[in-house]
Amino acid sequence: MKKRALFLILVFILAMPALHAKDSLLQRADIRMALTHIEKNYERYLGKQIEIAEIPAPPFKEEKRGRFMASEFKRIGLQDVHTDKIGNVLGWRRGSSDRTLVISAHIDTVFPEGSDVTVKREGHRLIGKGLVDDSLGLMGLLALPEVLDAANIKTELNLLFVATVGEEGLGDLRGVKYLFEKGPLKNRIDAFISIDLADPQEITNGALGSKRYRITVKGVGGHSWEDFGRVNPAHALGQIIANFTSKTTSTDPKTSYNIGRIGGGTSVNSIPFEAWMEVDMRSANREALKTLEQVFLKSVREGIAVENKFRSSSKSKLEVEIEAIGDRPSGTTLESDALVRAAVWATKGVNLKPKLIMRSTDSNIPISKGIPAITVGGGGKAGNLHSPNEWYNPTNAHLGLQRILLLVMYYDEMKIPSTAGVR
Ligand SMILES: [Zn+2]
């Protein structure tokens, strides 16, 4: 026999237990019971999702919803429920091994304080700010332990449920950064799953990196007529933006930039003494992101120099403050990693087609540290995320939760040795 044929047979034999495991898992009575339980109780879970969405959780003001999650974690019987120093809410469902899998979702929304967070029904759709992003994920953290208990399923893995703070915008992943960089559990987590957004086919295994800056330009200000000729911070921002956005960016790997906020000045007939803007830059590739960042910083310096030179006869000069306000590292959990394989099986297990994608989520942090991590959609269909008209269609949404249950159980059965503490 040829070496290659022998090799293929060997690969096939080695793959057998895995194939067998995933088929037998679907036949297990307790797993079937759990899957049925999810479908039967889905209306109630959806109610819980709406209840969560109607508790405001503006950026940096997640306490109220955090307290609700803590009381819910206790109600469903999680152990050692507590809120850590940064505001994450944690609860355990202990297993029989010393390995720990985190299942998380984020508490914060992008909507400012005072937003109307009432959920409304329009036909098959529900409209609500943050209803999907990420009340759907938070609901999953409450439903899963209940389902496991109802089907009397024990795991080897310790399941640590974590509702994180600061996933969105300027939160800069501060909750998950604390968990993996400063908190008491930082060296004890073996793998990480975040439930975020809806699509039950998506498996985010690529961490989209981003860099964010706030640029503040300051001048002497003055009257728009009397003092015309002095440096103008708003004009300088214009120079910077024109300069930066006219430089080409790469499409492979995809790289993006966005001036998302801009402001300053006091009145239409005053030269502003201050103007500012916030910029977001992203890339699938670490090097491309670095290059883009350098192009941006160079554009800032050049734009300031142009305005200073143009107004040099006035003897006024601009000052610039460059403040880094966001840094999300990039990376990938390989397709061959057990966690991604388990997610692919689980997706097929509910008869959906897995889609591996790249995005910026809480998983960026564990991924950048070499800890297997993925983000999965919670189920249903959604749109207009981060906008006041965020909508959710919960048709067949139970498939999302069923997939996550299978994912956790497949991963548990794979018995991946712990690497926590030796990293
Ligand atoms: Zn989200």
- CA 270 – ligand 1 centroid, Å: 40
| pLDDT at residue 420, rounded to an integer | 79
* pLDDT value of residue 157: 97
Looking at residue 251, its pLDDT comes to: 72
What span, in angstroms and rounded, lies between the C-alpha atoms of 342 and 155? 15
DSSP state string for 169-228: GGGTTHHHHHHHHTSTTTTS--EEEEE-SS-TTEEEEEE-EEEEEEEEEE---EETTTTT
Cα-to-centroid distance, 105 and ligand 1 (Å): 8
Distance between CA atoms of 126 and 128, rounded to whole angstroms?
Answer: 7
Interval between CA 90 and ligand 1 midpoint (Å): 18
Check residue 286 and give its pLDDT.
Answer: 80
User: pLDDT 10s digit of each residue in the chain, 423 long?
Assistant: 455 665 555 555 555 545 555 678 999 999 999 999 999 999 999 999 999 999 999 999 999 999 999 999 999 999 999 999 999 999 999 999 999 999 999 999 999 999 999 999 999 999 999 999 999 999 999 999 999 999 999 999 999 999 999 999 889 999 999 999 999 999 999 999 999 999 999 999 999 999 999 999 999 999 999 999 999 999 999 999 999 999 866 677 788 999 999 999 999 999 999 999 999 999 878 888 899 999 999 999 999 999 999 998 888 999 999 999 999 988 899 999 999 999 999 999 999 999 999 999 999 999 999 999 999 999 999 999 999 999 999 999 999 999 999 999 999 999 998 877 665
pLDDT value at position 285? 81
**Which stretches within 246-350 are classed as H helix?**
286-310, 338-349
Residues 354 and 200: their CA atoms lie apart, in Å, by: 8
DSSP character for 38? H
Report the distance separating Cα 45 and Cα 48, nearest Å: 5
For residue 420, what is the DSSP state?
Answer: T
Structure tokens at 405: 């249950």
> What is the Cα–Cα distance from 235 to 120, expressed in whole angstroms?
44
| Contact predicate 203/376, CB 8 Å | yes
CA of 407 to the centre of ligand 1 (A): 20
Domain boundaries, the chain: 19-208+330-414, 211-328
Q: What is the pLDDT of residue 9?
A: 58
Paired tokens of 251: 């499409």
- Using alpha carbons, list the distances in angstroms from residue 358 to 22, 120, 253, 376: 26, 31, 12, 11
Q: How far from 182 is each of 174, 188, 370, CA to CA, in Å? A: 11, 12, 17
Distance (Å) from CA 409 to ligand 1 centroid: 24
In CATH terms, the superfamily for domain 19-208+330-414 is Zn peptidases (3.40.630.10)
Query: Ligand 1 centre from 106 Cα, in Å?
Result: 7
pLDDT of residue 284: 75
CATH class of 211-328: alpha beta
pLDDT at residue 4, as a whole number = 61
**What's the CA-to-centroid distance between 297 and ligand 1, angstroms?**
29
Query: How far away, in angstroms, is 168 Cα from ligand 1 center?
Result: 7
